[in-house]
Amino acid sequence: MFLRIVPLLLCLLMASPPARSAAESDGISRDGDIIRIEGRIRFVTEKRFAALLAAPGADAPARRIELHLDSEGGNLDATFGMLREMAAARRAGMRFLTRVPAGAICYSACTLLFAAGEERVAGDDASFLFHGIVHRGPDGGRTRPDRAALVAAAREKYLAGIGEADPGLARWLREREIVARNLEVTFAAGELSRIFPAYVTRIEAAAN
């Protein structure tokens, strides 16, 4: 586990995680019952996700979708939109398995998508990062009188989403003010599963 303080920026994003190289492109795609989400989460990701989720399988609509995640996070409002799409699909009978494969990352807003699976699987050396929320507007949000209220509401909504998967993890993040003070904590999936087993429900050992 690694913990450090990050500077406060103003954005309705999670505070900036480590960037990918320019050669790594953002993407979302569907192959059968698997939807892969890679790179930064944006509003275009949300729109594409809704379309892919609604697309039928080869023979019949899927009853379970696997979300394979390898993302540094991104826009929190877009992520909330994706969660609403998942909730609507769930009401129609669909279930979700979320997976962060071996060697992949799930940072920032991605941790909410991971939390939304009924089953949550990660490779032992996958990496998870939790941290603060900031608000970005045309001027960095500095002139918005409701800036503090927006950020506070987003923090509560984020922690509630994590808490639906593992109340203990949400409580730990709250008590240590990880989100409130824009701190940053990183876990290897194996370590995270040992400490908060309700969040990562199954670890997949690396292939020999």
Q: Domain of 142: which CATH number?
A: 3.90.226.10
Range of the domain at 198: 2-16+26-204
What are the backbone dihedrals phi and psi of residue 82, each rounded to the nearest 5 degrees, phi first?
-65, -35
Residue 67 belongs to a domain: yes
> What is the per-residue pLDDT for 190?
95
Residue 21 belongs to a domain: no
What would the mean pLDDT of 136-156 be, rounded to a whole number? 70
Name every residue whose Cβ is closer than 8 Å to that of residue 181 and which is 6 or more positions away in sequence.
5, 132
Q: How confident is the model at residue 151 (pLDDT cuts 50, 70, 90)?
A: confident
Q: Say how far apart CA 3 and CA 107 lie, in whole Å.
A: 14
More confident residue, 148 or 52: 52
Mean per-residue pLDDT over the chain, rounded: 84
User: Do residues 16 and 23 make contact, with C-beta atoms less than 8 angstroms apart?
Assistant: no
> What is the per-residue pLDDT for 41?
95
Q: What is the pTM of this model?
A: 0.84
- Closest listed residue to residue 68, CA positions, set 108, 109, 96: 96
Q: Say how far apart CA 53 and CA 64 lie, in whole Å.
A: 11
- Residue listed under structure tokens 């909330």: 80
pLDDT digits (tens, 9 = 90+) for 1-53: 655 444 333 334 444 455 443 333 468 999 999 999 999 999 999 999 999 98
- Give how many domains the chain has, as a whole number: 1
What would the mean pLDDT of 182-195 be, rounded to a whole number? 94
What is the C-alpha R_g of the chain?
17
Residue 81 is encoded by which pair of tokens?
Answer: 């939109």
Residue 207 is encoded by which pair of tokens?
Answer: 């292939």
More confident residue, 61 or 165: 165
More confident residue, 122 or 9: 122
Residue 157 belongs to a domain: yes
Q: Say how far apart CA 30 and CA 81 lie, in whole Å.
A: 18
Residue 149 belongs to a domain: yes
> What is the per-residue pLDDT for 60?
52
What are the backbone dihedrals phi and psi of residue 201, each rounded to the nearest 5 degrees, phi first?
-80, -20
Residue 91 belongs to a domain: yes
pLDDT digits (tens, 9 = 90+) for 47-96: 999 999 887 654 455 689 999 999 999 999 999 999 999 999 999 899 99
